[in-house]
Structure 1
Amino acid sequence: MKALIIIIIAILLSVIFYLSVIGIKECGGFAGRTCPKGFSCRVTESYPDALGRCVFNPLVK
């Protein structure tokens, strides 16, 4: 039973890591594109209308 729980946790963490690394799509910009549910926009530039990447965020509902 304990091994099964560890395997499930490892799989879930792998999926979360994969989704956070790939960055699903571009967001922000002058068009104001939004991210899918469960993702947040990470903008690395500091100029107006900069594009960002959607990254998985477990805190966003």
Structure 2
Amino acid sequence: MKALIVIIIAILLSVIFYLSVIGIKECGGFVGLSCPKGFSCRVTDSYPDALGRCVFNPFVK
């Protein structure tokens, strides 16, 4: 039973890490798209109105 709990926790942490790296949807831009609750917008381009990706951020409420 303990092994199953450890496996489930490992899978959940892997999914959270994966979503934090790749992002789940586009945000920002000239339209000002926002991210869902618990995510923040990571913009990698430096030009005005650039699109970013929503990444998991445990510090955003």
TM-score, normalization: structure 1? 0.78
Deviations along 1:13-49, one digit per CA (max 9) or x if unpaired, are 2121122133111000000000000000000011110
1:3 aligned counterpart, secondary structure = helix
Percent same amino acid at aligned positions?
90
Shift of 1:12: 3.5
Look up the match of 1:32: 32
2:31 aligned counterpart, secondary structure = coil
Unaligned runs of at least 5 residues, structure 1: none
1:58 aligned counterpart, secondary structure = coil
Provide the rounded CA distance (Å) in 2 between the counterparts of 1:22 and 1:45.
15
TM-align CA RMSD: 1.7
TM-score, normalization: structure 2? 0.78
Unaligned runs of at least 5 residues, structure 2: none
Provide the rounded CA distance (Å) in 2 between the counterparts of 1:33 and 1:16.
22
